[in-house]
Amino acid sequence: MSPADIAAASAALEGSSPEEALRWAAQRFPGRVGFATAFGPEGCVLLDAIAREKLAIDVFTLDTGLLFPETVELWRELERRYDVRIRGVQPTLTVAEQEVQQGPALWQRAPDLCCNLRKVQPLRTEMVQFDAWITAIRRDQTPERARAGVVERDAKFGLVKVNPLAAWTSAQVWERVRERDIPTNPLHERGYPSIGCAPCTTAVAPGEDPRAGRWRTFAKTECGLHGRFTSNKPPKES
């Protein structure tokens, strides 16, 4: 798609339902579109929509080897509920092999490098088979995501990127979850609004930013999949 085509598609889908954006992606890129989910409530909402619409979209997750047990159980529950296979895409190195090469607990010393090894590089390898990928990002999640279009060019991976929930709020997401009784991670009820790898995710106190629990001791809000690495900045104030 040319830049003009992408802009036109994004404008046409602005304000549409997630189902409309998903149908457009499946029809525009038959057999060449994937959905990378991290099992947040947004991802669960999109998986529900993909299953209900019976869309030919390849669903996968980045299995870093550091997921919460609750996240892994949700993964299996979603497969059972929707009768779908969610592929696990793993890094080249196991956690143990990474420790041999980089030292123990790399995420505590160089979280950008850890995210690159366990998330960005595996996703980059996976993207070779696709012309487009679907994400669950919303504009109000982080400053880096504030300008996300429903359809946009992903320069990092050289693909078309489709964000069906770009304009949705957290309240809209949770309304859909309740309306359709969509399974979500039980950690959300324990103070974890945003969940990543277990060593890099903590609970959030009332009044804190929903992503304050991600890489709490670093000035980092993105793992590098959707925005720039930021952990080289000074650590967050405690």
Summarised one tens digit per residue, pLDDT across range 175-213 is 999 999 999 999 999 999 889 999 999 999 888 888 788
pLDDT of residue 236 exceeding 60, the answer is no
Cβ-count burial 134-165 (b if 16+ within 10 Å, e if not): bbbbbbebbeebeebbbbbbbebbebbbbbbb
Residues involved in catalysis: 223
Predicted structure pTM score: 0.85
The mean pLDDT value of the chain amounts to: 90
Q: Are 220 and 209 in contact (CB under 8 A)?
A: no
- Regarding the domain with residue range 3-185, which homologous superfamily does it belong to in the CATH classification? HUPs (3.40.50.620)
Does 42 have pLDDT greater than 60? yes
